[in-house]
Structure 1
Amino acid sequence: MLKSLVSIFKPEADDSRPVSSDYEPVSIGDEAQETSLVRVEDRGGKGVYFCFWVLGAGVLLSWNALICTMPLLASYFPEDSPTKASLASWLSTAFCLGNLFFLGSAQRSVGKSSPSPRLHHSLILLFLSSLFITFPTLPILLPILPASLMLPFLLFLTVVLSLATAWLQCAVFALAALWGSQEMLAVMSGQGGIAILVSLVQVGLAVISALHGAASGDEDYSDSQSTLAGIGLWALGSAGAFGCMIAHRWLMRHPDYRIVLAPLTMRGAGLMTGEDGEEQALGKQHGEGATRRLLRKNAALNLAVAYVFVVTLAVFPPVTASITSVQDPPPRLLRPDVFIPLHFLIFNIGDYVGRTYLPAIPALIFTSQPIVLVLSLSRTLFIPLLLICNTPNTNSPIINSDTLFFLIILFFGITNGYIGSLAMILAPSPALNPRVAEEEKDVAGSLAAFCLVAGLAVGSLCSFGVGALVH
């Protein structure tokens, strides 16, 4: 049993040597390309899809745990602290800027080396950092930490999480792009699925705490339950990172794993041997100019996926978490300690539907880059809609209905998941996006992921300005 656990943390040899001539998946010739395409159709399966779903969930696991515990983290600050109201913007900005910086550094090696070692080491860092937040940070350190040190300490932990997430995200999207469009969809679906799971845990604990507090009138019980909920979420994060290690090891033992990584091997061979002009050209395609070339090819798609998350992060959660029930006084299950987690859950359900089910409908797969960009830009309308809900500085909100607010949040989530996934699926797919060559898939996929994170970073910075309008 112990040996089995240790083997999960021990990196497995990444055997990505060229495959046998039976398949010849990467060659400079039409016949070999046809063989490769036939083999690609047989490459997927439920096991592969599920593993990429788990890895996609792991990419956003720490982010979802962080945003769901932001109200708890803010409660550790004194009431008169100016950081208390803006903590969500501080942490989301630190996470997204750190993620952007580390992802940019990781992007340089995409297409030149196997993503597996980076994936494994990032999962170990994610596991250890989540475990540290679970214990002793939440139950022991934060309650006794001086207020002057609390923000730097939380920012440091956030940057560590952003490092692990960035390197994991880069590796997962590169590997999924090499494997196929269904696996890319699995990654996007997993990101939405883990958000629902985290929100369900949070809402369940909030409802239990609210009902018990109403029955006993014990406010201390509510505080202790909030702490336990936070510990539970980060313990879930540790377990999720461990599950991702198992999924990655399963993929490495898949019979087609070496076939998937064969393009990387051929690029390296072309650069090292330089036996003929074609091989040298193959290697040069993945030099420093590859990123600039793909940025031009997928300019509209990359802008679309970035802007989706600029709009989302500008208001979610800094603004949406400040909106409360319009009922005065609100019933016990609509007070802020339940209302706020409930809006997280509704958004995440919509996001999951948009990521998983809408891109699976052929009629909703728009392959025109300008159309995808227009869809992304149209989400700007959600910002004024949310600002006229029951925000703190509003005495008589224009949208004076909790049901209507939850419907807006639902469609906000659906459009976030659908348009974001659509752009991410199109960007690295030669079948849906003829501008991208077969050997550019992994670079195009990780570049789209970089633009996604850039959108998160810009949206987090915008949240300071938008949040100032409601506080």
Structure 2
Amino acid sequence: MSLPPGSPEALYHVVPHPDDEEVNASQIELAGETAAEPVLPPMDLPPFLVDARIRWIHFILGCSVLLPWNVVITAMPFFLSRLSSSPLRSTFGSYLTTTFTVSNFVFLAHATLTSKQSSPSRQTRFSIIWLTILNFFLTLSTFFVPSPGVLFAFVLFNGVAQACAGAYLQTSVIAVASRFGPPAVQAMMSGQAAVAVAVSGVQVISAAASVMGKTHSYVSDGSAEERSAFMFFSLSTLFLIASAAANTWMVRMPVYQHIAASLEKPPKKSLAEDGHEDERRGLMSDHPHDDPMSDMKSNAIRVAKANITYEVAVAYIFMVTLAVFPPITTSIQPTNPATHPLLFSAIHFLVFNVGDLTGRYVCSFPIFAVWSAKRLLTLSAARTLFIPLFLMCNVQRGTSRIGGTPIINSDFLFMAILFCFGCSNGYVSSLCMMSAPSLEHNPRLKGRTEDVDVAATVVSFCLVGGLAVGSIASFAVKSAICGCNPFYG
């Protein structure tokens, strides 16, 4: 049975039809040793049904990858309410986000370099287990009121631990997704955006409830933040348990056993087998004492050099995004005096995240796919034009408007620009992540199957690097907009 022309499966060639080749049991068992590419087993279900399950599981795992960061951001009002009487309150947000992003970047670097040393299924399972435990501890924290110093240390430690587990989860998930092709990578990227939409949607509802029927002088007693945090931590814990179950299901699928078989760490051998292996390696190799870690580093560097265009493109995307969102965008206030600033800010996060999810979803249609590295780099660089557009909006410093009447004096136009900004972020970043590890669309890999997961983890590392650089640049951007804004009439 052939796939319909123009379908995503037909274009991406993720899973060949079982009738294309017959594989006996011995060939399957030795596929990783005797074949250049994984050998597929006979399948009882049509390929598109298998692919649909794989894509949905990667969508769920993509949600789990970004869940730690969303836990930290969403629970910020709760943490601040517990620190309301402490001098630590004013610097808590900066400490938490900085320690999280820096820790995530450092651990992701190690996870990228050692990705070949561990089984991705085992690493995914243990990462999710640790995230579940850490979220459960946060759930319990809503029942206690410790001293500000203890809470400060606990939350920072929990955030660093989640950043660590999230880094290893990200590398294992993207490594497996890359073996299933661009559709699985696109599903994973969409999952990351979907969880952000869900979180920002909750923020809008909370903001609307907090300002409805209350004066501007209303001060919460912290109980609402506590209930909201308990619900979010509890739901996050349950979702992580569900994602662990989904990953276990995927690993047991026959298609996983052969598409991702070469990524799994082989079982330990006996001492006798190890001795024979060493003898064979000494007789057959000119370099019997090669350092595996050194080989992995050199391999990662080689692949990184080959894919430098994709890596620069995806890093610059998030450098631009984090440089202006949210430091500039949150400084833009509504031009309509009837709109509450708190609700306006919450809606603006939702608009960006919906745009981001839309851009990532569009990539699932082959007609909108762009695979050329140079074109993707051009699209990435073109996003710089959004910076002056945002500066033309109603940027304010504190309670004072910067300059006179803004050129873009419309809340609707600001939201439209923000939606396009988010859409371009999701669209171009997803295409970079899909293209870099694709043997079909990236000739730089020269058909090497063993380089697919390496390319995926390296470009994922560059994405996080762009986030880190953009976060640092946001301090300078925030300082710059406090000066004279040239985009006012």
Q: Answer whether contact 2:108 2:171 (CA < 8 A) is retained.
A: yes
Pair 1:431-2:462 in alignment: no
Q: Give how far 1:455 is off.
A: 0.9
* Contact 1:93/1:457 (<8 A) preserved: no
2-structure distance, mates of 1:197, 1:279: 53
Show the counterpart of 2:189. Answer: 188
Post-superposition offset of 1:54 = 0.5
**Secondary structure class of the residue paired with 2:469:** helix
Distance 2:333 2:92 in 1: 18
Displacement of 1:109 after TM fit? Answer: 2.0
For 1:105, the aligned partner's letter is: H
One of 358, 361, 368 as aligned partner of 1:353 = 358
Amino acid at match of 1:347: F
2:376 equivalent to 1:369: no
**1:331-342 maps to which residues of 2 (within 5 A)?**
334-342=339-347
Superposed CA deviations along residues 385-444 of structure 1, whole A, max 9, x for unmatched, are 323433331344333221112112111110111111000001111011121221111111
Q: Give 1:462's match in structure 2, choosing from 449, 455, 473.
A: 473
Aligned equivalent of 1:172: 173
Equivalent in the alignment of 1:447: 458
Partner of 1:258: 257
Tell me which residue corresponds to 1:4.
none
Residue 25 of structure 1 deviates from its aligned partner by 4.3
Q: Name 2:245's counterpart in structure 1.
A: 246
Code of the residue aligned with 2:102 in structure 1: it is: L
1:51-200 correspondence to structure 2 within 5 Å? 51-71=57-77, 73-74=79-80, 84=90, 88-136=93-141, 138=142, 140-141=144-145, 145-146=147-148, 153-200=154-201
Shift of 1:255: 1.6
**Equivalent AA in structure 2 for residue 50 of structure 1:** W
Partner AA of 1:107 in structure 2: T
Counterpart of 1:171, as a letter, is S
Partner of 2:6: none
What amino acid does structure 2 have at the position aligned with 1:210? V
C-alpha distance after superposition, 1:362-389 (max 9, x if no partner):
3432222121111112212223332343
Q: Report if aligned partners of 2:60, 2:188 keep a CA contact under 8 Å in 1.
A: yes
Q: Alpha-carbon deviation of 1:284?
A: 10
Displacement after TM superposition at 1:289 (Å): 1.1
Tell me if structure 1 keeps the 8 A contact 2:38–2:259.
no
Q: Deviations over 1:197-244 (max 9, x none)?
A: 122222223223333536xx9935685434433333333322221121
Instruction: Indicate the SS of the match to 1:288.
Output: helix
CA offsets per residue over residues 74-132 of structure 1, 9 Å max, x none?
55556996973x75554333222111100111122212331122211211221122222
Distance (whole Å) between structure 2 residues aligned to residue 157 and residue 318 of structure 1: 25
Where in structure 2 are there 5+ consecutive unaligned residues? 1-23, 483-489
Is 1:305 matched up with 2:314?
yes
Q: Which has the larger radius of gyration?
A: 2
Q: Structure 1 stretches of 5 or more lacking a match? A: 1-18
Secondary structure class of the residue paired with 2:202: helix
Contact kept, 8 Å, 2:123 with 2:169, in 1: the verdict is yes
Give the Å deviation of 1:165.
Answer: 1.0
Q: Deviations over 1:146-194 (max 9, x none)?
A: 3x77665543332222112111111111121223222111111111111
When the two chains are superposed, the root-mean-square deviation of aligned CA atoms in Å is 3.5
Q: Given the two structures, how large is their TM-score scaled by the length of structure 1? A: 0.82
Choose between structure 1 and 2: higher helix proportion: 1
**What is the identity percentage for the equivalent residue pairs of Structure 1 and Structure 2?**
34
- Report the equivalent of 1:383: 387
Letter in 1 for 2:439: P
Residue number in structure 1 paired with 2:407? 398
Aligned to 2:218: 219
TM-score using structure 2 length: 0.79
User: d(CA) in 2 for partners of 1:108 and 1:206?
Assistant: 42
Amino acid at match of 2:477: V
- Does the aligned pair in 1 maintain the 2:82–2:222 contact within 8 Å? no
Amino acid corresponding to residue 55 of structure 1 in structure 2 = L
User: Are residues 401 and 432 of structure 1, via their aligned partners in 2, closer, same or farther at CA, if it must alter by over 3 Å?
Assistant: same
CA contact (8 A) 1:88 1:317 kept: no
For residues 23-82 of structure 1, the C-alpha deviation after alignment (integer angstroms, 9 at most, x for no partner) is 4644556xx64955998x948422221111100100001212323344554555569969
Equivalent-residue separation in structure 2 for 1:367 and 1:218 (angstroms): 53
User: Structure 1: which amino acid aligns with 2:249?
Assistant: W
| Equivalent-residue separation in structure 2 for 1:119 and 1:404 (angstroms) | 42
**Is residue 329 of structure 2 the alignment partner of residue 323 of structure 1?**
no
